[in-house]
Amino acid sequence: MNFFQAQERAKRNTSYLIFLFALSVIFLIAITVLFLAVVFLYSSDITLSEIMQNPALFISKDLIIGVSIVVMTVVGGGSLYKYFALSSGGKAIALSMGGELVVRNKASANEEMLLNVVDEMAIASGISTPEVYLLKDDAINAFAAGFTFDDVVIGVTQGCINRLNRDELQGVIAHEFSHIFNADMKLNINLVAMLHGILLIGLIGKFMFKSVFYGNHYKHNSDGSKKNNSALYLLGVGGGLMAIGYGGTLLGNLIKASVSRNREYLADATAVQYTRYPDGIAGALKKIGYYSSAISSPQAETYSHFYFASALDSLFATHPPLATRIRRIDRSFNGNYEEALGKLKSDKDKRGRNKSGKRTKAKDYFSKIAVASVISNVGSVDEQVVEDISTQIKELPKTLKDRVDEPLGAQAILLALVYNSKYKVELFYALHKANPYLLHEFTNLLDEGHYDINKYAHILVELSLNPLKNLSLEQYKVFKELMNVFIDADKIVSIYEWSVFYNISRPLEINLEIHKIPKAIHSHIGAVKKEVEVLYSMLAFHQSKDETVAKDAFDQTKKEIKAGALNYISSKEINHTDFLNSVKELERLKPPMQLRVFEGLIYLAKIDKKISIVERNLLNALSKMMQIPLNLG
């Protein structure tokens, strides 16, 4: 299943979820009507024979309508409340689970390993590196949470990083990335919100019961008889609503189980595909069998369907049986976890490669495969690319490694990526005026650097993102203004400069809640004809710097995507404002049109048989804008 098929499957699952939710509400209305009818009957003088003659005396139309309105209001209100409570995305969910943000410059050796695995997987798959949260729990478990690629976080338990080796941890993280690409995250959040509404009736009943039982409404006479009969009825109503709430819990668990189980098999299989190492994820599952995946947090039940493995013991488990998952990956598994653990310990750090131990370099992978292959690989992770990214990170010059993990150093690095020494005096003055500490960091970086920093641009941009999320809104505004000063120094904003800053500014502004993702409204290419023409024309001219060659490349591209109405625009007729406005409007494309436009971008970038650093950064920026995770190789 490729990325786009997964998105369609997620939409179908959402429709299925809404259907189950509607059935649950109808069930709650029915049992609430029945319960209240019994209560009213008990408190009245109506006889059974009278009800047989006139059933409306037992269940009236007014009762059904009234209960329906109340139940739908309570359930709908509870669901909306929970949805908005989680609207900030993965961070809110991780914090509610008790997670603590892992900061690289304060990380332990195991935490550093975890961050490296997440970095490599994210960069190789073409999405912004997620923040990582650690749950102080001895269980072996993990989760991915968020609405979009921009707000996704990865959560991992302490037991996970303490007990798993790197390959096993990579298998777990690959499993979670599968959930990210298969659009399971948003479905999970929708499920939490919907179930909160269903469970709210039981919570109201529990509140009523406790209020009456422990309050002043329920007292006894000296002979032991109750003083207040109305309190007795309130106790009965509260207890009944609690029972209905338990029914809602039962329904919720059934819904979780029906929606979640098959997704876990898919995520396991995809993790094997991503890592090309079945023993990694199989080893993690075997260790869970020996130790445990049960989370001690009180929120474990609410978020049970988010986790890598079952977070609690339940009849309606959200995950398939552990042994079944293992046997789908390792057919030789005999169900003995103690024996499996002993074998894992004896095989520690023995990861098989090909017989020669050599790998094919992933460099130029993207430029050598067809557009159709690139599109089919969207939302996937290539093991070679992951290892290539790992190598690139290890090969970063020390002066960059020492800085990229903390906010001030990351800002200095990004400024260096767009620095033009011809305007040194003006730029240094702007730095001194805005932030003298940053000026000091920047000058030290320049003094220590004896390398082409742009060679590492792709890696540095991605690694700097999470440290920069620690900036306050005011600090970000100062940094943004400085970036604009550096970029505008020569009065020309290049595609490269825009791409570097956009790859950082968009996720940061979403994190700071000052950029709202616009609603997708354009369903055909004609609605954004001018914008597509500007983007394609700029990229075509950038490749060749020759109008005739650029127009020919443009014409080949529009033929490839069957958009014959598009017309090439001369580079003299396009300014930077046109480019910015075009990108902004293309963010409003609906997914099918995004794919069509993106196919054209890939075709155009590959037309000269090579992918430059500038093209790579542009494609990376636009893929993030369109929420299309692109494996650039």
What residues act catalytically?
176
500: nearest Cα among 616, 398, 582, 399: 616
CB 342 within 8 A of CB 348: no
616: nearest Cα among 126, 130, 120: 126
Structure tokens, 67: 């209960």
Rounded Cα distance, 154 and 133, in Å:
6
Q: Give the C-alpha distances (Å, rounded to integers) separating 491 from 431, 484, 486.
A: 18, 11, 10
CB 595 within 8 A of CB 516: no
Rounded Cα distance, 444 and 598, in Å:
40
* 3-class DSSP state of 605: helix
349 Rama sector, left if φ>0, alpha if ψ -120 to 50, beta otherwise: left
Name the β-bridge partners of 500.
none
CB 479 within 8 A of CB 409: no
- For residue 485, give the DSSP letter: H
167: nearest Cα among 278, 273, 264, 268: 278
User: How many CB atoms within 10 Å of residue 554?
Assistant: 23
Name the β-bridge partners of 132.
154
